[in-house]
Structure 1
């Protein structure tokens, strides 16, 4: 009814979830569409309405739980809702309680949703390059295991994020990843002189598989290249725009 687009992953079939873009929201201007970013300069009432619409499209009546994201590897276990102003500084959420919509905000970084259906445990992680290399997905898996999940049963889906063709990085960036593991060079393609194209989605998928997740679905959707459908921090930067919107990925029981 609201026109909100919730992109579903086959791997998470049967679990309430969705990767949302900018369609179906009430914001205008640079933030046009479903901007859910509390840290953006958008109208607060518009952001609140967009957040309500997002939850209604995925798990009507659920309590939305989001974080103050800081590009860390920290995961938080959600046992009760917390106020917006008391959002923990972390980048992943897990729970085994029904009635919560775990939300991760992105604007090029990779949103990752997790579920162990048998255990009734879910998770959501914000994996930008800093969090990804620091192990935010590993932290999410460990936190889910504390609630009774088993990583050989956990399935994961990687939502819309900046794709390799759109993600130019410099030599120093590549060196950081190569220092962590020389085999990480496989996630970089040659670019213009002194630069490379980084495949964030493939790197996150690799980290999940290496950690023992048997089913990993990569959606293959490029936030940068599709301005009608997704917000993108890098695109806004390249266009010299003063601000940018954020989209949300949601999962709940």
Structure 2
């Protein structure tokens, strides 16, 4: 059975953060791998995407994008075939019957909704997209459709935690050069390195954009191999490929 984690902040809005449980893939991709860019069997990937979609909203159309670690956002007005996925890292819509799906394997999935306006958004915030404003632009796109920032609820799903996310001091300096206050998201690590709390950084960006309610699920993808795919863990284990999980939201 597909496991969907829910956020209290999005109660009443169809949504769910899926992990790897409940899919048909095997081997290093075992479970609910939905990543079209992985080395998994395509038939298994497509079956997993259907399983995920039907676990949330049977009969709806799942829309995903070709994620490129950008701040780019698209407005979705209808279904998009897998072959015609545009390059982007976030989506917004006000159309019922469409599921916005974001794929991750350590990066931060963010689901957003202005339930009163009937507008939802989904963003893939890797460190590049987070730093260049993918969540800010997602909120702006929702506002353009009629949402209000103070009415938006946002949920941050399973992602790599600070204790699992070691980065170099030069990496941290890139964030501090953008804003000196960003130093608070880095804590001391081994020599020449530090630990990055990317979820807290994304939450702070949402707060600075005026989002009314922000929830963090606090689920570490790296340390829970039975529940989540993790790019970094796969690299550390020397695996040839890795799976991706999906976070989904739709207009209620």
CA distance in 2, matches of 1:217, 1:58: 20
Measured against aligned partners, the alpha-carbon deviations of 1:173-228 in whole angstroms (never above 9, x if no partner) come to 01100000011000001000010000000000000000001200000000000000
Measured against aligned partners, the alpha-carbon deviations of 1:73-111 in whole angstroms (never above 9, x if no partner) come to 000000111111111100000000000010000000000
The equivalences for 1:25-104 within 5 A come to 25-104=23-102
CA distance in 1, matches of 2:101, 2:64: 5
CA distance in 1, matches of 2:59, 2:183: 45
**TM-score scaled to structure 1, two decimals?**
0.99
In structure 1, the residue matched to 2:193 is 195
Shift of 1:59: 1.0
1:143 is the counterpart of 2:141: yes
Aligned length: 251
* Structure 2 unmatched ranges of 5 or more: none
The one of 101, 113, 121 equivalent to 1:115 is 113
* Structure 1 unmatched ranges of 5 or more: none
In structure 2, the residue matched to 1:241 is 239
In structure 2, the residue matched to 1:16 is 14
CA distance in 1, matches of 2:56, 2:132: 30
Shift of 1:16: 0.4
The one of 112, 118, 126 equivalent to 2:124 is 126
Shift of 1:146: 1.1
CA distance in 2, matches of 1:183, 1:138: 18
CA-atom RMSD in angstroms: 0.5
State the SS of the aligned residue for 1:193: coil
CA distance in 2, matches of 1:116, 1:175: 35
